[in-house]
Amino acid sequence: MKLIHEETSADNKVILELISFDRETYERTDNIMIDDLLRKIDRHKVNWINMDGMGDLTIVEKLQAHFCFDALTLDDVINDQRPKAEEYDDYLFFTLKMLYRIEGDKIDYEQISFILGTNYLISFQEKEGDLFDGFRERIRLDQGKVRRMHADYLMYRLIDIIVDNYYTVLDNIGTKIDEIEDCIYSDSAEEAFKKIQAIKKEIIFLRKAVYPLREALSKVSKGETSFVHEETLRYFSDVYDHTVHVIDSLETYKDLTSSLLDIHMNTMNNRMNEVMKLLTIITTIFIPLSFISGLYGMNFEFMPELHSKWGYPAVLIFMALVSAGMIFYFKRKKWF
């Protein structure tokens, strides 16, 4: 478990972690002061420096001074950016969105930035906790290839874990689409519309996060940077393929959401048509009844029915027969 950096307050907590390894050795240090961390970096090993929390900018500035980051890189690390890959003289900068889950109508996410050098990888995260605990354990146990590879392979594995978790978020969206489709006929119009709009916003956010990531990974996988070894390019190509698949899934969900909106509108139109049909039937039934009641409401002196003992009940019976006849006729026509 990561520990909170002692130099920071609760509002500006920063978690610093250093993992240094090669084929034979492994060392992990948490709760380390920034000056001690910089002294412990071994240039003969792969060094993974992870920083959770951006509340203490002095730590970022010390890292910048030690590794000679460009001021533009520091600005990209601190501020929210679209996914991208930029190569500088001494390092490769890569940033993307790390998605966790959908909570209500919002996607829980954070920006994560990587700075890749010849023998080091620095990851900057906005808050405590990430998706990499299982991978840290694999490094410690020397499972997989990471202990035999360079820092670029380490960055590939972290990006791959992030992209793979996109599928979890996509599955969540797919489940929500199915639920909306099942209840769209029973929910109120306003409630169903709000659910569909919430899904559309989530898909738009994901598209903004994934489309630029495809471009960034394409730049790396095509060997356009000198900080990724040739033997690692095929792994980045695999992540690129996963990203393309995520985009295809997003397009499918986008079409399904549009279909949900069409179904919602058709359902509303059908409901309105049913209401109009009912009102039309009622109006049609009452037209002859209104005529009859209006006719006998004129009170002419020589209307024979007015002086008949059975005139009133006879008219009521006649009106009832007219109504029953019209209802029977509408039933035969399958109007309802």
Task: Yes or no: say if 20 and 42 are a contact pair by the CB < 8 Å rule.
Answer: yes
Mean pLDDT of 280-306: 80
User: Looking at 23-32, 166-175, 179-188, which range is the least confident one?
Assistant: 179-188
Cα→Cα distances 7→10, 32, 161, 204, 318, Å: 10, 10, 31, 39, 94
| Ramachandran category for residue 47: left, alpha or beta (phi over 0 → left; psi -120 to 50 → alpha) | beta
* Highest mean pLDDT pick, 103-117, 175-189, 291-305: 103-117
**DSSP E strand stretches across the chain:** 15-21, 26-30, 46-52, 84-87, 92-103, 106-116, 120-125
Task: Yes or no: say if 286 and 326 are a contact pair by the CB < 8 Å rule.
Answer: no
The DSSP string of 145-180 is SGGGS-HHHHHHHHHHHHHHHHHHHHHHHHHHHHHH
Within 10 angstroms of residue 50's Cβ, the number of other Cβ atoms is 21
Give backbone dihedrals phi and psi of 120, rounded to 5 degrees, phi first. -145, 155
Q: What is the pTM of this model?
A: 0.77
Say what the pLDDT of residue 2 is.
38
Mean pLDDT of 14-39: 90
User: Looking at 195-204, 213-222, 230-239, which range is the least confident one?
Assistant: 195-204
Say what the pLDDT of residue 129 is.
79
Q: Which domains does the chain have, with CATH numbers?
A: 15-267 (3.30.460.20), 278-332 (1.20.58.340)
Within 10 angstroms of residue 204's Cβ, the number of other Cβ atoms is 13
Mean pLDDT of 3-30: 72
Say what the pLDDT of residue 45 is.
93
